[in-house]
């Protein structure tokens, strides 16, 4: 009886979720049911509406980097709707649209965290998937119906934008936006973009919108018109 009561108590502290997981290296994604930790005081629970596909998700599924944890639910270009907030959450309300990138939490106490460099957290950053959270549970990503994230690692998304088109900004977008902001790209500067793939087309559009003169390099003749079109938009 005591064991049954403990099991019920544990279930109350979890959230049912389902998604698509690979059970082994290079395995096919298949339906997978699992539990997430309940939102803490500073967490939000997000109903996932869209999730982009990044090539690093494929690398992780295939264990190309040698540290994949199975079963693995990939996905770190997540957008959705907040459906529950922790008692101390200030940034979000139920119903807000939110996005999540490659991290869902960190210790928040070490020097890198205090300096806004949480990806270098000395107590290990908590990645959106293929990691362990503070309770010791494996983290599962955005190829699922919900996700729990510390509010500091979620972004508010305007109700005016297309959510499906917004999802890739959580990885490919920030990967190109960040260095351009770092180097203050703007009018009077020239930016060369090599390749017109998932990152390249983002780099072209950002640099163009910042007012820079953009030179696009591609070895694919069929992408020339795409580059010209994106450069004009």
| 20-29, 96-105, 224-233: least confident range | 224-233
Mean pLDDT of the 220-233 span: 87
Q: Quick one: pLDDT at residue 3?
A: 41
Token code pair at residue 8: 């019920």
Report all structural domains of the chain as residue ranges with CATH numbers, in order of start.
14-163 (3.90.180.10), 174-232 (3.40.50.720)
For 135-161, the pLDDT digits (tens) are 899 999 999 999 999 999 999 999 999
Q: Quick one: pLDDT at residue 73?
A: 98
- Average pLDDT of the residues of the chain: 92
For 189-216, the pLDDT digits (tens) are 999 999 999 899 999 999 999 999 999 9
Percent of the chain with pLDDT over 70: 94
For 166-193, the pLDDT digits (tens) are 999 999 999 999 999 999 999 999 999 9
Q: Quick one: pLDDT at residue 4?
A: 43
Q: Quick one: pLDDT at residue 198?
A: 87
Q: Residue by residue, what is the 3-state secondary structure of the chain? A: CHHHHHHHHHHHCEEEEEEEEECCCCCCCEEEEEEEECCCCCEEEEEEEEECCCHHHHHHHHCCCCCCCCCECCCCCEEEEEEEECCCCCCCCCCCEEEECCEEECCCCCHHHHCCCHHHCCCCCEECCCCECCCCCECCCCCECEEEEEHHHEEECCCCCCHHHHHHHHCHHHHHHHHHHHCCCCCCCEEEEECCCCCHHHHHHHHHHCCCEEEEECCCHHHHHHHHHHHHC
């Amino acid at each position: 009886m005591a064991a049954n009561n403990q099991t019920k108590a544990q279930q109350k502290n979890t959230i049912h979720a389902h998604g698509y997981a690979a059970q082994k290296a290079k395995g096919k994604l298949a339906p997978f049911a699992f539990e997430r930790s309940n939102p803490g005081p500073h967490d939000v629970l997000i109903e996932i509406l869209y999730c982009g596909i990044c090539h690093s998700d494929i690398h992780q599924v295939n264990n190309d980097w040698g540290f994949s944890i199975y079963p693995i639910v990939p996905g770190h270009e997540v957008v959705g709707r907040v459906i529950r907030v922790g008692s101390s959450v200030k940034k979000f309300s139920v119903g807000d649209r939110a996005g999540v990138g490659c991290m869902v939490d960190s210790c928040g106490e070490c020097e890198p965290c205090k300096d806004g460099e949480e990806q270098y957290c000395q107590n290990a950053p908590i990645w959106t998937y293929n990691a362990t959270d503070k309770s010791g549970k494996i983290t599962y990503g955005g190829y699922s119906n919900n996700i729990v994230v510390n509010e500091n690692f979620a972004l508010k998304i305007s109700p005016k934008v297309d959510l499906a088109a917004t999802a890739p900004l959580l990885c490919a977008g920030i990967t190109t936006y960040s260095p351009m902001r770092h180097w203050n790209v703007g009018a009077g500067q020239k930016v060369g973009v090599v390749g017109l793939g998932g990152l390249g087309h983002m780099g072209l559009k950002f640099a163009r919108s910042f007012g820079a003169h953009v030179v696009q390099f591609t070895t694919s003749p069929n992408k020339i018109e795409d580059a010209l079109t994106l450069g004009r938009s």
